[in-house]
Structure 1
Amino acid sequence: MTNEFVLEAISREFPDSVLDTSEPHGMLTLEVKKDDLKKIVHYLRDSSLEIKFLTDICGIHYPEFPDKEIGVIYHLQNMMTNFRIRLKIFMTRENIEVDSLTELYAGANWMERETFDFYGIKFKGHPDLRAILNMEDLGYHPMLKEYRLEDGTRVDKDDAMFGR
């Protein structure tokens, strides 16, 4: 199975859903429409592509891009052929909600809870969406780039040292 073969299959099945494609480090990476994500993942799992393993779900925050400020990244794999694919969706801060994949993958439960906990992304249809690693009364989502990394009173360190 090749990147070209899988991309062609997805493009044929969902002609208007793929917004961008790339192949960093040889891994097929697709940015897809948020509303079509669950249908695409369902197709990847149940079609002859047999991409049945959900490896990871994680969030990302790009405050410098208001139209694509919050993202969710999904890594999926066909264990028989070792083919891997990355799907990305992006949303605005006002619309920080996406369909849950817990119906398709039981393992999505804790991954979505972790992503909610750290980024505040709500997963529609999740059976138990609550904090998993942080205290429930924390009051903020620590992976959002809204807070300084260092104490503002220190002069020996600044956020530029940490890639900001």
Structure 2
Amino acid sequence: MTFSEITDLLMAQFGPDVIQQANTTNPQPFLVVQKTAIASLCQFLRDDERLFFDFLACMTGIDNGLQASTMEVVYNLTSIPYEHNLTLKVVMPRNADGEPLPEIPTVSHIWRTADWHEREIYDLVGIRFEGHPDLRRILLPTDWQGHPLRKDYQDLETYHGIKVK
């Protein structure tokens, strides 16, 4: 199935409120999706027999910086039996210093691999996943301050008396 066919199918199922943009100018085309609908859309993509996206190949969190004031979660999906791929992107407002972290619904109940991907994004970028069964740091110590892949992250001078820099 082509990207255009998948886009048409999803637009018919979910409409323009959910599928906000189809970007075909990139070498790897992608759909921009409303964050509140990401879990239901992913459930459909996995369960619909015409699509059967059975593999979440990768999930990435991106901080676009203070000037853009947005963050993104990018989902790379594959249908192994049908040999087609799809990239989804959710763009959300970036939190200011002292505000709660941005949140997006989990997809860990759809693809088990999302459990680790979501924990890594939370740990390093600072995006929370609503409904995640065990959202805690995965790479850094539990008492680490901040999220190191954020554009505004300030390196620690010391950690428990150990010089970090």
Q: Which runs of 4+ in 1 moved over 2 A?
A: none
Distance 2:124 2:148 in 1: 6
Equivalent residue for 1:51, pick from 49, 53, 59: 53
Q: 1:41 is matched by which residue type in structure 2?
A: C
TM-score normalised over the length of structure 2: 0.83
* Mean CA deviation greater in 16-25 or 121-130: 16-25
1:148 shift after superposition: 6.7
Equivalent residue for 1:114, pick from 113, 120, 131: 120
Distance 1:13 1:146 in 2: 39
8 Å CA contact retained: 2:108, 2:114: yes
Secondary structure, counterpart of 1:30 in structure 2: strand
8 Å CA contact retained: 2:59, 2:74: yes
Secondary structure, counterpart of 2:75 in structure 1: strand
Equivalent residue for 1:141, pick from 144, 147, 152: 147
CA offsets per residue over residues 63-95 of structure 1, 9 Å max, x none? 2212xx111111101112221111111111246
RMSD: 1.7
1:104 shift after superposition: 0.7
Equivalent residue for 1:65, pick from 56, 62, 68: 68
CA offsets per residue over residues 14-52 of structure 1, 9 Å max, x none? 112111111322x33001101111111111111121111
Aligned to 1:129: 135
For the structure 1 residues 56 and 81, does the alpha-carbon distance in structure 2 shift closer, same or farther, using more than 3 Å as the test?
same
8 Å CA contact retained: 1:73, 1:87: yes
8 Å CA contact retained: 2:31, 2:88: yes
Distance 1:10 1:22 in 2: 14
Aligned residues: 147
Distance 1:36 1:125 in 2: 14
For structure 2, the residue ranges without an aligned partner over 5 or more in a row are 96-100, 156-165
For structure 1, the residue ranges without an aligned partner over 5 or more in a row are 150-164
Aligned to 1:21: 22
Matched, 1:31 2:32: yes
Q: 2:21 is matched by which residue type in structure 1?
A: D
Aligned to 2:4: 4
8 Å CA contact retained: 2:146, 2:153: no
Distance 1:45 1:132 in 2: 26
Percent identity, aligned pairs only, is 31
Secondary structure, counterpart of 2:124 in structure 1: helix
The structure with more helix, counted as a fraction of residues? 1
